[in-house]
Chains A and B, each alone.
Chain A
Amino acid sequence: MSNNMEQIVGPRVSGEEFQRNRTRYLLPTILFALAGLLLIISIFLPYWQLTLHAPQYPQGLTVQAYLNRVDGDVGEIDGLNHYIGMRPLDEAAPFERSISIIGVISLSLLILASIFIHSKWVTLLTLPALLFPVIFLVDLQWWLANFGQNLDPAAPLSSSVDPFVPPVLFEGKIAQFRTVAMPSIGLWLAIAASLLILVGLYFHRRAYKPLHDAAEAKA
């Protein structure tokens, strides 16, 4: 049992060795810590933005999706959506939004925990955070499709607008609206966190693989 734990935690670094190669051991720590911090900051920032352009809205209409809410011209967009029978934006992803904050905090904690894990198990711990931006976008695309496909057939314009799938990124077109969907600063931070984790994993391996191999050899 304790042997298993040791396997997972990986080899410890002696004070002498640490003093000799500070950078080598600090690098993955700093990169993981930074990644965790960026994820925490991203909680307060919008992840995704959709802008609707139409002649009668010269400033455009914009919604920002945060992890747990939507903000911006939600009322106006909901008002327009009722013509095609789309449900109010607030009804989207209730489960995801309810766990999102705790979920992202957990991802950060996993990354921080992985600072203390000096084995290949660290890949498993950081994997959720690494994939988080992709998971976010895939889930969002699923909801966009869900909303676009399930239009109220009794809506005023239901006969002139067929069910559609709004693209989660870049340009789309619905009636007179050109839609532009872009990641927002929060998602960019999450992507940055993923990159930091990737780089961190590389240096993690650089730092601890030799120790691990040495320990194996000794055994």
Chain B
Amino acid sequence: MTRSKFRIVALLLLLVLALSVFAACGRNRQEDAADTVVGDGNLPAGAMDIAAERGLSPDDINAALKTYVPSGQWDEYLMFASGGHSGNLLVIGLPSMRILKNIAVFTPESWQGYGFGSIESEEILDAGNVNGVEIRMGDSHHPGLSETAGDYDGEFVFINDKSSARVAVIDLRDFETKQIVKDPNIISNHGSTFVTPNTEYVIQGSQYATPLGWEYAPLEEYEEKYRGLATLWSFDREAGRIDMENSFSIELPPYWQDLCDAGKLASDGWFFCNSFNTEMATGGIEDGNPPFEAGVSQRDMDYLHIINWKKAEEVYKAGNTEEINGMPVITLQTAIDEGVLFFAPEPKSPHGVDVTPDGKYMVIAGKLDPQVTIYSIEKIEQAIADQNWEADPFGVPVLNFDAVKMAQLELGLGPLHTQYDADGYAYTSLFLDSAVAKWKLGGDDPEAYELIETVPVQYNVGHLAAAEGDTVSPDGKYLVALNKWAVDRFAPVGPLLPQNEQLIDISGDRMQVIYDMAMGVGEPHYAQIIKQDKIKAWDVYPEVGWDPIAQAPSEFATKAGEERIERNGNEVEVFMTSIRSHLTPEHVEIKQGDHVTWHITNIESAHDATHGFQLGGYNISLSIEPGETASFEFDAVNDGTYAYYCTEFCSALHLEMMGYMLVEP
């Protein structure tokens, strides 16, 4: 009897427990996902009608299916592409090729409130000024994602400005520019930004040689006074900033250094730069001299620069440098004496030097030579040990070409830049042929290097970017051809055309162009493609009242109820909050001649609840993301009645989110 009672009770208990568990689970149950429609390999009914109506080929259908990313799903990769002379950095999703963000870097940008009054961004931009001249343009070229052990770690991205020789740091927690540094000794750069395998240094190479510090010197003194330079910007990952105190430069001959790449694994400790004016031509077409384009292309060979940065770091730390305009510089002579700098001949005027994923080989794309030339780090180190060299006019050891060359492979006309996949293949852009060449790396067997296929691209392809294609572990899958010209690819939009970024599927035996993306906001020079899930971006700032520059709580953070206007003589300080749908205070009364400092804290913590702020008539534009505290200042030079308002359509009462600034005469 008692036994059966026990069972009843046990059953009841179980029922109760099951009920609670069911209730607990029920809370988190997601709505059912929609059924997948494609079954048995057949397209849904009507798909072929659509294809026929739109004139799509089977390849087109494949391309569409490979690139379409349904609403709410995320792209697998993010591509960081330079914006060229719009001075910005673009974030593009792959395979959809949608632009996700346009990060303001060297140029003011009103949507992000970058360079329109905001104290934080003005300070960043001002750090890039040149000798008191306000620089608000930029020519961003080569993004470099931070690396750990030679692989992208998704924490930071760097980019250079070619025209004024500057480097910027972007924090990938909030995708905002945090720092611009100006090299005090060069006025243009190109071989940047390339990071060492653990982002110890962000490397920047000069382009057009000038006297160091770009001081005046007549072109007749080119050989004696003009110089190239490589700067190793020390990166403080903890602070998220380039540490200018621990950075240094290496003086180079005035050979117009081009692209660079840092060694990794087998070649860790080295970096490599191409050059294209070992002729030291100085132009002057107007005086009957050969123009630069001919003058710098006379010799058959230019010099691959081979630089031992670990040795250079030792030399710098030993204090064996000369301070030039505040920057410690390893002089050319010291670099030669200490074994920091070597050259190897390379077919003339090449563009990219790209280290293979294993770090063993350097691939130089010939540009004016139809071949890629492959060098081996083992051979280079052997030639250095054997002192198998001659000296150039400056005394720099030039290693014997045949001693360091591993192989040469003819690919087509105008090879520019090389990327890698996971299966031992390399991809090189062919500018003149408007094509991409896929070829096999042959290791230490010169005969094993082999051209596999080429695919036409439209048109004039510059750089390539493959998925993690310049790291120690490339992913393959996708390659993007950054084409300079679009010509007839898109509907006409006037004489200034977008560029054409073409996505190429490299996962199969045959390369297939699967998407043409019109890049109508800049000219990407280089891009890097990182797995999306490596980036740990914030949805909103960690705390309300956040200073995005310090990445810490702001001293100007204002809480709800603590909004105020403080006056001290003619110094006025406004502490404002923004939340849907009001700015507090809504009346700001000041006097003509006041100097106004104005802080706004977005006290929202909801995902996407950004408020903008514009003050008409005073050129003020801010973007205040959830949790952010932003500040601006201005002199109230004009009296009058002004309206300020939230520029983001933040809510149904967005239009009502405004206030008046009254400036009494």
B5 and A27 contacting across the interface, CB-CB below 8 Å: yes
Choose among B19, B24, B27, B606 the residue that contacts A79 (Cβ–Cβ < 8 A).
B606
Within 8 A of A (CB), among B644-665: 653, 656
User: Whose C-beta in chain B lies nearest to the C-beta of A180?
Assistant: B27
Complex interface: stretch among A5-13, A101-109, A130-138, A192-200:
A192-200
Interface check A23, CB cutoff 8 A: yes
| A-side contacts of B2, CB under 8 Å | 21, 23-24
A192 and B604 contacting across the interface, CB-CB below 8 Å: no
| A-side contacts of B12, CB under 8 Å | 195, 199
User: Whose C-beta in chain A lies nearest to the C-beta of B605?
Assistant: A75
Within 8 A of B (CB), among A19-34: 21, 23-24, 27, 31, 34
Interface check B242, CB cutoff 8 A: no
- A180 to B: closest C-beta gap in Å: 9
B16 and A182 contacting across the interface, CB-CB below 8 Å: no
B9 and A31 contacting across the interface, CB-CB below 8 Å: yes
User: Whose C-beta in chain A lies nearest to the C-beta of B606?
Assistant: A76
Within 8 A of A (CB), among B583-600: none
Interface check A166, CB cutoff 8 A: no
| B-side contacts of A183, CB under 8 Å | 23
Interface of B is mostly: helix
A156 and B653 contacting across the interface, CB-CB below 8 Å: yes
Choose among A58, A188, A195 the residue that contacts B23 (Cβ–Cβ < 8 A).
A188
B656 and A156 contacting across the interface, CB-CB below 8 Å: yes
Interface check A146, CB cutoff 8 A: no
B27 and A182 contacting across the interface, CB-CB below 8 Å: yes
User: Whose C-beta in chain B lies nearest to the C-beta of A196?
Assistant: B16
In the complex, per-residue mask of B15-57: 1 if CB is within 8 Å of any chain A CB, else 0: 0110110011011000000000000000000000000000000
In whole angstroms, what is the CA distance A49 to B23 when docked? 11
User: Whose C-beta in chain A lies nearest to the C-beta of B24?
Assistant: A185
In whole angstroms, what is the CA distance A31 to B579 when docked? 52
Number of cross-chain contacts by CB at 8 Å: 53
**Contact status of A195 and B16, CB under 8 A, knowing A182-B23, A185-B24:** yes
User: Whose C-beta in chain A lies nearest to the C-beta of B580?
Assistant: A79
| A-side contacts of B605, CB under 8 Å | 75-76
- A34 to B: closest C-beta gap in Å: 8
Interface check B216, CB cutoff 8 A: no
In the complex, per-residue mask of A160-171: 1 if CB is within 8 Å of any chain B CB, else 0: 000000000000
| B-side contacts of A191, CB under 8 Å | 19
B24 and A27 contacting across the interface, CB-CB below 8 Å: no
**Contact status of A83 and B653, CB under 8 A, knowing A185-B24, A192-B19:** yes
User: Whose C-beta in chain A lies nearest to the C-beta of B608?
Assistant: A56
| B-side contacts of A31, CB under 8 Å | 9
B16 and A192 contacting across the interface, CB-CB below 8 Å: yes
B656 and A49 contacting across the interface, CB-CB below 8 Å: no
User: Whose C-beta in chain A lies nearest to the C-beta of B17?
Assistant: A192
B20 and A27 contacting across the interface, CB-CB below 8 Å: no
In whole angstroms, what is the CA distance A34 to B581 when docked? 50
**Contact status of A182 and B26, CB under 8 A, knowing A23-B2, A23-B5, A79-B604:** yes
- B9 to A: closest C-beta gap in Å: 7
User: Whose C-beta in chain B lies nearest to the C-beta of A58?
Assistant: B72
- B3 to A: closest C-beta gap in Å: 8
Most buried by B among A83, A188, A191, A196: A188
In whole angstroms, what is the CA distance A33 to B16 when docked? 16
In whole angstroms, what is the CA distance A34 to B20 when docked? 15
Choose among B9, B19, B20, B23 the residue that contacts A199 (Cβ–Cβ < 8 A).
B9
User: Whose C-beta in chain B lies nearest to the C-beta of A45?
Assistant: B24
User: Whose C-beta in chain A lies nearest to the C-beta of B8?
Assistant: A199
Interface check A123, CB cutoff 8 A: no
Within 8 A of B (CB), among A56-80: 58, 73, 75-76, 79
In whole angstroms, what is the CA distance A21 to B1 when docked? 11
In whole angstroms, what is the CA distance A55 to B52 when docked? 36
- B159 to A: closest C-beta gap in Å: 33
A156 and B23 contacting across the interface, CB-CB below 8 Å: no
| A-side contacts of B581, CB under 8 Å | 83, 156
In whole angstroms, what is the CA distance A58 to B13 when docked? 37
| B-side contacts of A100, CB under 8 Å | none
- A60 to B: closest C-beta gap in Å: 10
B606 and A184 contacting across the interface, CB-CB below 8 Å: no
Interface check A189, CB cutoff 8 A: yes
Within 8 A of B (CB), among A195-219: 195-196, 199, 203
| B-side contacts of A83, CB under 8 Å | 581, 653
In whole angstroms, what is the CA distance A122 to B166 when docked? 83
Within 8 A of A (CB), among B605-624: 605-606
Within 8 A of B (CB), among A92-149: none
**Contact status of A188 and B24, CB under 8 A, knowing A76-B605, A79-B579:** yes
| B-side contacts of A79, CB under 8 Å | 579-580, 604, 606
- A204 to B: closest C-beta gap in Å: 13
- A14 to B: closest C-beta gap in Å: 18
Chain A contact residues, CB within 8 Å of chain B: 21, 23-24, 27, 31, 34, 49, 58, 73, 75-76, 79, 83, 156, 182-185, 188-189, 191-192, 195-196, 199, 203
- 24 A-B residue pairs with Cβ-Cβ distance under 8 Å, sorted by A, are A21-B2, A23-B2, A23-B5, A23-B6, A27-B5, A49-B27, A73-B606, A76-B605, A79-B604, A83-B653, A156-B581, A156-B653, A182-B23, A182-B27, A183-B23, A184-B27, A188-B20, A188-B23, A189-B20, A191-B19, A192-B16, A192-B19, A199-B9, A199-B12
